Chains A and B, each alone.
Chain A
Amino acid sequence: MTATDVMTTSALPQVTLTLEGVTTYVRMRKLLRPVILDVGFFVRPGEIVGLVGESGSGKSMTARTIAGALPRGAVAEGVVGLGEENLLTVSRRRRREVQGKQIGMIFQDPKAYIDPLWRVEVHMTEGMRVHLGLSKSEARARAIDLLSAVGLDQPERRMRQFPEELSGGMLQRVMIAGALSVEPSILLADEATTALDVTTQAEIVSLLGRLRAERGLSVLFITHDLALADQICDRICVMYAGRIVEVREGRGIFEDPLHPYTKDLLAARPNIRKRVARLPVIKGTPTSAMDAPSGCAFHPRCRFAVEACTTTFPQLTAVSGGFVRCIRAGEQLWSEPRAEKGQTASETEGNSAAGG
């Protein structure tokens, strides 16, 4: 029984979205090469699940696999379960219907994803008219409610405005409102706050939190910002080279990372309280799924790699606090993770003494 099985069976009672063993290939010069590999996780109603990783780690590909927006020639295998159906095996027609009604999606650059020629009203009401069969006036009324629900002032006026007249943050709110208009069961937020400045980012994040609390909205929150994900997510999946290397329940990825990659990644973050001459780096360069070495994709860069890491493909294994894809899972690879705080404090003292 693999970890993915454990995860899905334990979650069976009520899940909005399940991914099981999803592998997506893209076609390159007649060859199918994987971009994500054996990806599995689930999102329960009202949960915000984070998908984090660096560029090329496969987080957006995962989103595109779920949304059915794969590039030409790409193939996806496995199970993308939404409701009772596996979206990867249903007919194209049914798939379009399901993804339109059940999956809302917001993107990094809202301006590019809203047709510039139409007033906000058209963007807002189109989905409701197509999918819910509402009349123009019904859709209009609901759109105005939604716009105020996502915190836009003067919703009536916004309806009459053109996308170019709104700021990036306002447009992202319009995108969210538009995505919610057909009452999807899950919202995919692909780097939805990345292009916004931090204040707006904080507003959008708290908006997502509020919508989750008020409407039981499920969100798959894709970002490269670990700290941001840690703030709002109920569960975080860390991706590396197209596979999920760590799944964390609840908060705590910062205190107690499970995978050596996450551990090193966190160590490489600047800390406002700790002055260092040079941030630690992870040696080597990030790799994509198609160039990943055999065995564990991270082994060439891993401080804890052993002989077996180069040959054995690790499975996601349950450990206390989550799941980790590492054959040395369960071993105490680094000393006293929870003592790190004290250590940090003393280091800070040492540094400031040296600086003064």
Chain B
Amino acid sequence: MSAVSEDLQLLQGLSRDVTVGKFEGVFQKAVLGISVLVLLGILVCVAFAPWLAPHNPNGVDLLNPYTGPSPGYLLGQDSAGRDILSRLIYGSRLSLLGPTIVISIALVVGVPLGFLAGYRGGVLDGLISRVFDLVFAFPSLLLAIVIVATFGASFFTAAFAVAITYIPLMGRVVRAAALVEREKPYIAACRLQGYPAWRVFVFHMGPNMARVLVSQTTLYFAYGLLDLSALSFLGLGAQPPQIDWGGMLENANQGVFQSPTGVVFPALAIVLLVVSLNFIADWILEQQGQRGGQR
């Protein structure tokens, strides 16, 4: 092999090294693929639960509480002998709906507030930020518990309560992003060019802040799932016969030494969903990070 082609190969090798992103290796691609499959699988469960579940999720079999896996009950039975697999499949619905409600409320209320605070500054910023601080002053789960205790335990109250604690979280992040973004020269240039304010927001500030928004949304979705699960675990979230993964954990808690499957599988489902979401968010960010992003 000639020296020149060796050099060339070296150069190519080097340039390949430099451009390797987080999701370009085989392993990383596999991880991303699995994450997408997990999410799709959960979505399929949400959509087709009645067809997928082998048993009635609330079908009681009091003679067989806390039994391990058996041919008829692949993941075992819980405290009342209900099929854990069927409950997992049905539970995916509320477990996904809950964080979706939380995130939607946090986005709809938190983003405009945070944006106004960051972009306009001054008195408005002070006002909004102090309200955020007020909510922040309580531990979020404690605040949620207080709200649920006041309005009565139900799935929607729990989701709403968690959402309230997430509004300032989202607002803070958006405010910081807006503070950074409004000082960007290209935003100044847009204003100099006399573009209407809405146009600058929608086409320039918004897309440039989307990076932060996407990452925070997925992160908070995962946190929301965990917080709601915690509330359900405390018996303050979904109420029987509603099923969600957190509630399943609570139910299986006492029988963990007789048959751990009731704890292991709902926990595994929560972890899988959270981890997959994080990988997917990372990937989305990397796609976007190819442009500008880190400036």
Which of A107, A115, A116, A127 has most B Cβ within 10 Å?
A115
Task: Name the prevailing secondary structure of the B interface residues.
Answer: helix
A19 interfacial by beta-carbon distance below 8 Å: no
Taking CB atoms, residues of chain A closer than 8 Å to B189 are: 105, 107, 113-114
Q: Say yes or no: A105 contacts B186, CB within 8 Å.
A: no
Q: Say yes or no: A127 contacts B193, CB within 8 Å.
A: yes
B184 interfacial by beta-carbon distance below 8 Å: yes
Taking CB atoms, residues of chain A closer than 8 Å to B192 are: 67-69, 99-100, 103, 105
Q: Say yes or no: B292 contacts A117, CB within 8 Å.
A: yes
A127 to B184, CA, bound (A): 19
Taking CB atoms, residues of chain B closer than 8 Å to A27 are: none
Which of A68, A98, A116, A162 has most B Cβ within 10 Å?
A116
Taking CB atoms, residues of chain A closer than 8 Å to B195 are: 100, 126-127, 130
A112 interfacial by beta-carbon distance below 8 Å: yes
A122 to B199, CA, bound (A): 13
Given contacts A99-B194, A100-B194, contact A116 B292 (CB under 8 A): yes
Task: Name the prevailing secondary structure of the A interface residues.
Answer: helix
Taking CB atoms, residues of chain B closer than 8 Å to A97 are: 194
B295 interfacial by beta-carbon distance below 8 Å: yes
With both chains docked as a complex, state the minimum distance between the C-beta of A92 and any C-beta of chain B, in angstroms. Answer: 11
The listed residue (A98, A109, A116, A130) touching B291 by CB distance below 8 A is A116
A100 to B197, CA, bound (A): 13
Q: Say yes or no: B185 contacts A113, CB within 8 Å.
A: yes
Q: Chain A interface: which size bin?
A: 20 to 34
Could you give, for residues 169-211 of chain B, a 1 whenever the CB lies within 8 Å of some chain A CB and a 0 otherwise? 0000000000000001110111111111001000110011000
Could you give, for residues 278-305 of chain A, a 1 whenever the CB lies within 8 Å of some chain B CB and a 0 otherwise? 0000000000000000000000000000
Taking CB atoms, residues of chain B closer than 8 Å to A182 are: 193
Question: Please, which residue of chain B has its CB at the minimum distance from the CB of A67?
Answer: B192
Q: Give the interface of B toward A (CB within 8 A).
A: 184-186, 188-196, 199, 203-204, 207-208, 291-293, 295
A210 interfacial by beta-carbon distance below 8 Å: no
A109 to B295, CA, bound (A): 13
Q: Give the interface of A toward B (CB within 8 A).
A: 67-69, 96-101, 103, 105, 107, 109, 112-118, 122, 126-127, 130-131, 162-164, 182
A69 to B187, CA, bound (A): 12
With both chains docked as a complex, state the minimum distance between the C-beta of A180 and any C-beta of chain B, in angstroms. Answer: 12
Question: Please, which residue of chain B has its CB at the minimum distance from the CB of A117?
Answer: B207
Q: Say yes or no: B295 contacts A116, CB within 8 Å.
A: yes
A115 to B210, CA, bound (A): 14
A292 to B247, CA, bound (A): 73
Q: Say yes or no: B194 contacts A114, CB within 8 Å.
A: no
Q: Say yes or no: A112 contacts B194, CB within 8 Å.
A: no
Given contacts A96-B194, A99-B192, A130-B199, contact A113 B186 (CB under 8 A): yes
Q: Say yes or no: A112 contacts B186, CB within 8 Å.
A: yes
A29 to B249, CA, bound (A): 59
With both chains docked as a complex, state the minimum distance between the C-beta of A188 and any C-beta of chain B, in angstroms. Answer: 9
With both chains docked as a complex, state the minimum distance between the C-beta of A199 and any C-beta of chain B, in angstroms. Answer: 25
A118 to B210, CA, bound (A): 14
The 4 closest A-B pairs by CB, nearest first: A100-B194, A116-B292, A112-B185, A96-B194
Q: Say yes or no: A130 contacts B186, CB within 8 Å.
A: no
Question: Please, which residue of chain A has its CB at the minimum distance from the CB of B186?
Answer: A115
A98 to B194, CA, bound (A): 8
The listed residue (A101, A109, A116) touching B194 by CB distance below 8 A is A101
With both chains docked as a complex, state the minimum distance between the C-beta of A253 and any C-beta of chain B, in angstroms. Answer: 30
Instruction: Other than A112-B184, A116-B186, A127-B195, give 12 A-B pairs with Cβ distance below 8 A.
Output: A96-B191, A100-B195, A112-B186, A112-B295, A113-B188, A115-B190, A116-B291, A118-B203, A130-B199, A163-B292, A164-B291, A164-B292
Given contacts A69-B188, A113-B185, A113-B189, contact A130 B292 (CB under 8 A): no
Taking CB atoms, residues of chain B closer than 8 Å to A67 are: 192
Taking CB atoms, residues of chain A closer than 8 Å to B191 are: 69, 96
Q: Say yes or no: B186 contacts A114, CB within 8 Å.
A: yes
Q: Say yes or no: B194 contacts A131, CB within 8 Å.
A: yes
